[in-house]
Amino acid sequence: MENNSSILTSLTINSKDYKLELLPWVSLLDTLRERLNLTGTKKGCDHGQCGACTVLCDGKRILSCLTLAVTKNGSDITTIEGVADGKELHPLQKAFIEHDAFQCGYCTPGQICSAIGMLREGKATTREDVKELMSGNLCRCGANSGIIDAIMQVKEGIDHE
Amino acid sequence: MNSFDYKKEITVDAAVKAAADNKAMFLAGGTNIIDLWKYNLTNPEKLIDINDVQEISTIQLLENNGVRLGALAKNAATAYDPLIEKKYPLLSKAILAGASPQIRNMATDGGNLLQRTRCYYFYDPDVPCNKREPGSGCPAIQGCNRIHAILGTSEHCIAVFPSDMCVALAALEAVVNVTGPNGDRKIPFADFHKLPEDTPHLDNNLEKGEMITSIDLPPNHFSKNYAYLKLRDRHSYAFALVSVAVAFEMDGKTISKARIALGGVAHKPWRVPKAEELLRGKKATMENFATAAECILAGAVGRGDNDFKIPLAKRSIIRACEMALYPESQIPGAGPSL
Amino acid sequence: MENKPLIGQPLSRLEGYEKVTGNAQYAAEYNIPDLLYGYVVNSTITKGKILSVDVSDVLALQGVVKIFTHENRPSLAWFDLQYADMDAPPGTVFKPLSDNIIRYNGQPIALIVAEDLETARYASTLIKFVYEEETFNTILSQNLDKAREPKIGMSTPLKPPPPKPTGNFEQAYASAEFKTEAKYRHGTEHHNPLELFATTTIYEGDGKLTIYDKTQGTINNQLYVANVFGLKYKNVRVLAPYVGGAFGSGLRPQYQLFLCVLASLELKRNVRVTLERKQMFSFGHRPQVIQSLRFGADNSGKVTAMNHNAVGETSAYEDYNEILVPWSHKLYPAANTLFEYKLAPLDLATPIDMRAPGGVSGMHAIECIMDELAYKLNMDPLDFRLNNYSEIDPSTQKPFTSKELKQCYKKGAEKFGWHMRNPKPASTKKGNRLVGWGMATGIWDAYQFPARAEVILTKEGRLEVHNATTDIGTGTMTVMTQIAADEFGISVDEVSFFYGDSKKPFSMFQGGSAITASTGTAIVAVIRELKKKIIKKIKDSPNSPFKEIPEDQIVFRNSGLSVKKQPDLFITFQELIKANKGKEFKAAKLAGPDLLKLRKFSKATHSASFVEVEVDKDLGTITVTRAVTAVAAGKIINPKTARSQILGSMIWGISKALHEETLIDPNLGKYMNANLGEYHIPVHADIPEMEVIFAEENDGLINELGVKGVGEIGMTAIPAAIANAVFHATGKRINDLPIHFDKLMGHHGY
């Protein structure tokens, strides 16, 4: 239903520039999933209650389900598809595999994007801090311990640098 | 639902002018309005995107040594702002007790004041709710009311205001600066939100078309002895069943000034100045805290499932007062323990 | 280089790369051209009739393609049997849009199909239904008078009624020196996998469909679609290569599948239907259950009498059963037992199995009353269990195929430090917190279903393995690859396991912790068949160096064939293929449990959990600080993924004990917290330090692999262990789950 109320929106997603005609009520999440076929970003609740749709917007972790895409005109978005460096996985991606930090895999992209944002924020010192600051990302399979183990491994690597 | 116009404005004046139409709403962080809109609970005809209004986005020191929070400052940026961490650590703690890091990165300080209740019945467009549809009834009173209010309720509504940040702002006696078609005005925090009475559809005393531009934190000496205690059904990312903000000014072991505000118990952050007076000049003892707690909960009414909130709130007040004496022991996320 | 044995290796998930990069595609994520979007409309009343439907506003909306309601639903299969999936309980299956009757709040009553998602969603707010409402019952505790015996049906053999009484319970209980009785209440729970239920149907023309569906059973849903819509089985293909969690909710075809296929066939278009989170509360759930128990013991600390009575909720149209009550007699050899199980039909959707169905609720009650009895006897709770330990199954008097529960008790207790426990309740303090330690036993069945597998040694010398099972996050794909690689003597990266596709050979739905035993055993059987074929071929070939070698001396290893005591005689699979004129080798086989042999045995997995909680002495807040679970579940194929299964189910146990519950408004008859903000599943901050121990359990009887399954056993002991720990911390027994901290408030001293 693209009509004349569409708004030209420029987004840089995973270093690629997009110019999109978007209706104002289309969420960033549905833009990614339904219009750009970037389905790595997941819809788990669509109401800001699970964290599965977490992406990085201008470097900060946000919920794409509660974001109207048109409001992010000019922004730089990173989704899970843009986290690895080509074929070379991001250290968090490797650590998630090593620590079996997922089962069904559905919350995983959100957990990884959120963890990248969390580490960048630099507010977590202890494992307890990491647990608290990752609590916006639910995991129903109960892979929580592996997720925190994986993040702690990467965090300790960064802390030692 | 899908019929709204969208307009981005970059100045306060232009935004306020644009909001003069019927059913226009300001869009800031969007963390509540988009959620409500998707449930078909709010139907703006026009969304005015104010995210790029730079003039109200910053946090600055005021001449009186207080701090001004721009309405569009993000919750996370506020909680971690060095000025806030130093001068108003209670506010930092309260903000970080709320929502999730992602939501705090999106949500704004002005928006925090305007979030709607999380009452199950308000959130379900298919059941009656006086807040949503005045006159339709309040099924919560006879229904699932474990999360509902025990203070200041009316026969029309027992919803609670869900914010954590505002509980701290109430304790800190913040002032809300608003602007609108009739010019600027300042609203003391205690007068910003309202009780349900017979107009539960109104959460606050903002006039039509008015916009919050900033929140002023007056200078105080509460940065040494404070506590924010939040009790909820999981250790993070849940709304408060009861929360307590406490701030003391201490003179040795004597309390020279006290502020106590409660969240999760009423339609607005709950303060009883009389109880704070009771503590003035008194020793910081459990007995005195208990006296204040009784005073604050005077008149509380349970509706069945939420009866527990009355004793819980009293105990939480006592505990939070005790915690305020040892603020360094309050590890974020560690729960209510000393 | 010699291949290492793969069974027992902690391999990382083979699909890990796909999952961490976002490449793994779930049911709603296939980029199909010319796709229409369906949005489901649900009933807003609890019981009654639809009198009329007004769709005029919807039709006026640009972008709306079609509205399906009971008024225009095309005529479909008539017989209930055609709608009955493999997991359908006794009763009359729910047929979406088949009539104007409303059976429960949230029942699907319309599908709106539009050109885009947002239009379909918007349109759903414009359709108007006029209802005639009837009174309803949705609260189990208010309807216990309606409880009756469950109906018998096709699924009864899998979920038999409770065993007959033994001895004389009433007499034994009356004369028992020590006795205790208690009531336990469990509320409603919803599975809430993170992935929303969704179906993408590709209309291939000529009555042919390709369907990406969220399911635990590709073949179950294929048969359902074919039966209901009158299509040929071979023309319906259901795929579910990735499933974003299910926990039982995908055991039956859910209504979005029906509606999506309906729209696709009627419109001859590709259609996607995704449910909203609140709609995830509009089909199966774990039922409300009320249990009453009376246990008696003698002076020597032996349990003598056990009565377990349960009433569960079911819908008004199907009799959903759980195995709730007989578990105690699979553990404790009391001579006098009385087990009763009834159902009360309510105006709610039919419940559906949810992780450790029946077992986790029943064991909560059993292991709490055992704890209470231990305190009456002044015995350590673990000693009390050991004092009542049975090597055989007391309920059948048959030996177990294997039972290493004693090892679980011992290793779990050691790891936890149980011997340091001061038995006195409320005796250990840490600041404002009371520290409590609790333990409990867990038990779960060891199921095996028939399964068929096909294997191909390809022209490239790789091994392909085919079976229709899903991998719902259990690690199935990795585990099956390990089993196949080991059996065939090939490396993991030379094996491809093809699954999650109804076109593949038969598998039951993935439930009951049965797939490793079922598909795994079939893979072993079919590879043995393949090996036989290869050996025959190679021995028959002219000039074959293996010609004179006895069959039982030929071994498969290092991606080739060799001879036991002559490792130098070796040909690679590639060379084998070349010798076979470039042709591949193939085998297919159906395998099932050896019922004749197993008839003489009982089978079960066991566990023991030890938990530490801290309870705030004034505020009642409960924090699980440590948890250890020791599991005896036969052979562990992959300790990494198996450990994850146990950790996950322990977290489910924590959640059941302390967090999750769906609230029903008794006056409105509907769920009020149908979202992830108010339906509380644990967040990272809730997760304690956890340990998993696997007992050595060699089971040469249960199946070729000696495996039993690990999906559910880790959950069954945790709720009781937590409740017992809360008692130890506070002296309060809270028997209603979840133990929200405010329930401690109702007690004096809190």
List all residues of chain B from 58 to 87 with a beta carbon under 8 Å from chain A.
76, 80
Interval A42-90: pLDDT, tens: 999 999 999 999 999 999 999 999 999 999 999 999 999 999 999 999 9
For residues B82-89, average pLDDT = 97
The C-alpha atoms of residue B305 and residue C92 are separated, in whole angstroms, by 36
List all residues of chain A from 53 to 112 with a beta carbon under 8 Å from chain B.
54, 60-63, 65-68, 70-71, 73
For residues B50-56, average pLDDT = 97
Looking at residue A4, what is its pLDDT?
57
Contact A145 C245 (CB under 8 A): no
Instruction: Reply yes or no on whether the pLDDT at C748 is more than 60.
Output: no
Residue A109 and residue A151 in one domain = yes
Residue A121 and residue A75 in one domain = no
The answer to whether residue A1 is domain-embedded is no
Task: For residue C469, give Cα distances in angstroms to C264, C474, C480, C521, C738.
Answer: 25, 11, 10, 13, 34
The C-alpha atoms of residue B66 and residue B27 are separated, in whole angstroms, by 28
Contact B31 A48 (CB under 8 A): yes
Interval C197-244: pLDDT, tens: 999 999 999 999 999 999 999 999 999 999 999 999 999 999 999 999
Q: Structure tokens of C713?
A: 């056993």
Looking at residue B336, what is its pLDDT?
46
Interface test with B, best of C46, C58, C742 (most B CBs within 10 A): C742
Instruction: Reply yes or no on whether the pLDDT at B162 is more than 90.
Output: yes
Looking at residue B54, what is its pLDDT?
97
The C-alpha atoms of residue B143 and residue C663 are separated, in whole angstroms, by 10
The answer to whether residue A136 is domain-embedded is yes
The answer to whether residue A61 is domain-embedded is yes
Nearest to B311 among C659, C740, C745 (CB): C745
Task: For residue C670, give Cα distances in angstroms to B224, C46, C248.
Answer: 48, 7, 22
The C-alpha atoms of residue B165 and residue B91 are separated, in whole angstroms, by 6
Residue A112 and residue A69 in one domain = no
Contact A103 C195 (CB under 8 A): no
Residue A74 and residue A13 in one domain = yes
Nearest to C667 among B38, B139, B318 (CB): B139
Residue A35 and residue A76 in one domain = yes
Q: Which chains touch B (3 or more CB pairs under 8 A)?
A: A, C
Q: Structure tokens of C473?
A: 């996050």
Q: Structure tokens of C632?
A: 């005896």
Contact B100 A136 (CB under 8 A): yes
How distant is the Cα of A136 from the closest Cα of chain C, in angstroms?
7
Contact C473 A142 (CB under 8 A): no
Looking at residue C157, what is its pLDDT?
86
In which band, very low, low, confident or very high, does the pLDDT at B335 lie, cut at 50, 70 and 90?
very low
In which band, very low, low, confident or very high, does the pLDDT at C541 lie, cut at 50, 70 and 90?
confident
Interval B118-134: pLDDT, tens: 999 999 999 999 999 99
Residue A76 and residue A129 in one domain = no
Query: Is this complex scored with an ipTM above 0.90?
Result: yes
Q: Structure tokens of C743?
A: 């329930």
Instruction: Reply yes or no on whether the pLDDT at C373 is more than 90.
Output: yes
Q: Among candidates C247, C733, C201, which has minimal Cα distance to C474?
A: C247
Lateral strand order in the sheet of B24-27: B5-8, B46-49, B24-27
Instruction: Reply yes or no on whether the pLDDT at B333 is more than 80.
Output: no
Contact C195 A134 (CB under 8 A): no
| Contacts for B304 with CB less than 8 Å, ≥ 6 apart | B145
The answer to whether residue A49 is domain-embedded is yes
Top-ranked range on mean pLDDT: pick from A157-161, C535-539, C743-747: C535-539
Q: Give SS3 for C1.
A: coil
Looking at residue B337, what is its pLDDT?
43
In chain C, residues with a C-beta closer than 8 Å to the C-beta of B238 are: 677, 680, 683
For residues B68-86, average pLDDT = 98
How distant is the Cα of C730 from the closest Cα of chain A, in angstroms?
25
Last residue of a domain, one of A81, A101, A134: A81
Contact A106 C685 (CB under 8 A): no
Instruction: Reply yes or no on whether the pLDDT at B330 is more than 70.
Output: no
Task: Quote the mean pLDDT of chain C.
Answer: 96
Looking at residue C25, what is its pLDDT?
98
The answer to whether residue A17 is domain-embedded is yes
Q: For chain B, what percent of residues have pLDDT higher than 70?
A: 97
In chain B, residues with a C-beta closer than 8 Å to the C-beta of C621 are: 231, 335-336
Cis omega (within 30 of 0) on the bond before B44?
A: no
Please name each of the domains of chain C with its CATH number. Answer: 35-135+193-276 (3.90.1170.50), 146-189+285-447+600-746 (3.30.365.10), 449-592 (3.30.365.10)
The answer to whether residue A2 is domain-embedded is no
The answer to whether residue A28 is domain-embedded is yes
| Contacts for B168 with CB less than 8 Å, ≥ 6 apart | B88, B90, B91, B93, B94, B95, B228, B245, B261
Q: Could you give the number of structural domains in chain A?
A: 2
Q: Are C511 and C216 in contact (CB under 8 A)?
A: yes
Using the Cβ of B336 and the Cβ atoms of chain A, whether some distance falls under 8 Å is answered with no
For residues B300-320, average pLDDT = 97
Residue of C nearest to A107 (CA): C194
Residue A73 and residue A100 in one domain = no
Residue A150 and residue A102 in one domain = yes
Q: Are C181 and C300 in contact (CB under 8 A)?
A: no
Task: For residue B278, give Cα distances in angstroms to A47, B54, B90, B152, B282.
Answer: 43, 43, 22, 21, 8
For residues B257-279, average pLDDT = 98
Q: Which secondary-structure segment (H or E) carries C164? A: none
Contact A97 C17 (CB under 8 A): yes
Looking at residue C498, what is its pLDDT?
98
Looking at residue C3, what is its pLDDT?
60
Looking at residue C397, what is its pLDDT?
97
Contact A144 C676 (CB under 8 A): no
Residue of B nearest to C685 (CA): B235
In which band, very low, low, confident or very high, does the pLDDT at B332 lie, cut at 50, 70 and 90?
very low
Q: Which secondary-structure segment (H or E) carries C492? A: none
How distant is the Cα of A4 from the closest Cα of chain C, in angstroms?
13
Instruction: Reply yes or no on whether the pLDDT at B89 is more than 90.
Output: yes
B69 forms beta bridges with: B59, B215
Residue A100 and residue A72 in one domain = no
Interval C144-167: pLDDT, tens: 999 999 999 888 888 999 999 999
Instruction: Reply yes or no on whether the pLDDT at C45 is more than 80.
Output: yes
Looking at residue C81, what is its pLDDT?
78
Interval C552-592: pLDDT, tens: 999 999 999 999 999 899 999 999 999 999 999 999 999 99
**Pairing status of strand C236-239 against strand C433-445:** unpaired
Task: Quote the mean pLDDT of chain A.
Answer: 96
Residue A60 and residue A125 in one domain = no
Q: Which chains touch A (3 or more CB pairs under 8 A)?
A: B, C
Instruction: Reply yes or no on whether the pLDDT at B59 is more than 60.
Output: yes
Interface test with A, best of C13, C15, C19, C280 (most A CBs within 10 A): C19
The answer to whether residue A86 is domain-embedded is no
Query: Residue A41: which domain range?
Result: 7-81
Interval C647-688: pLDDT, tens: 999 999 999 999 999 999 999 999 999 999 999 999 999 999
Q: Give SS3 for B261.
A: strand
Residue A120 and residue A152 in one domain = yes
In whole angstroms, what separates CA C521 from the centre of its chain? 19
How distant is the Cα of C384 from the closest Cα of chain B, in angstroms?
33
Last residue of a domain, one of A81, A107, A137: A81
Q: What is the DSSP string of C92-161?
A: ----TTSSSEE-STT-EEEEEEESSHHHHHHHHTT-EEEEEE------GGG-GGG-BPPPP-TTTTTSPP
Which positions in chain C have a beta carbon within 8 angstroms of at least one beta carbon in chain B? 44, 118-119, 121-122, 125, 431-433, 614, 616, 618-621, 623, 659, 663-668, 670, 672-673, 675, 677-678, 680, 682-686, 740-742, 745-746, 750
Residue A104 and residue A132 in one domain = yes
Instruction: Reply yes or no on whether the pLDDT at B65 is more than 70.
Output: yes
List all residues of chain C from 466 to 495 with a beta carbon under 8 Å from chain A.
472-475
Q: Are C116 and C63 in contact (CB under 8 A)?
A: yes
Please tell me the pTM assigned to this model.
Answer: 0.98
Please name each of the domains of chain B with its CATH number. Answer: 1-329 (3.30.465.10)
In chain B, residues with a C-beta closer than 8 Å to the C-beta of C677 are: 118, 238-239
Q: Is A73 exposed, middle or buried (0-12, 13-18, 19+ CB in 10 A)?
A: middle
The C-alpha atoms of residue B249 and residue B272 are separated, in whole angstroms, by 17
For residues B181-199, average pLDDT = 97
In which band, very low, low, confident or very high, does the pLDDT at B329 lie, cut at 50, 70 and 90?
low
In which band, very low, low, confident or very high, does the pLDDT at C749 lie, cut at 50, 70 and 90?
very low
Q: Are C602 and C330 in contact (CB under 8 A)?
A: yes
* CATH number of A76's domain: 3.10.20.30
Q: Among candidates C140, C153, C512, C152, which has minimal Cα distance to C312?
A: C140
List all residues of chain A from 5 to 44 with a beta carbon under 8 Å from chain B.
5, 7, 23-25, 27
Last residue of a domain, one of A81, A105, A133: A81
For C716, phi then psi, to 5°, come to: -70, -30
The C-alpha atoms of residue C408 and residue C385 are separated, in whole angstroms, by 12
Q: In C545-696, which ranges are continuous DSSP H helix? A: 573-579, 595-598, 639-658
Task: For residue B135, give Cα distances in angstroms to B129, B140, B201, B204.
Answer: 8, 14, 10, 19
Looking at residue B22, what is its pLDDT?
73
For residues C412-425, average pLDDT = 97
Instruction: Reply yes or no on whether the pLDDT at C289 is more than 70.
Output: yes
**Maximum CA extent, chain A:** 54
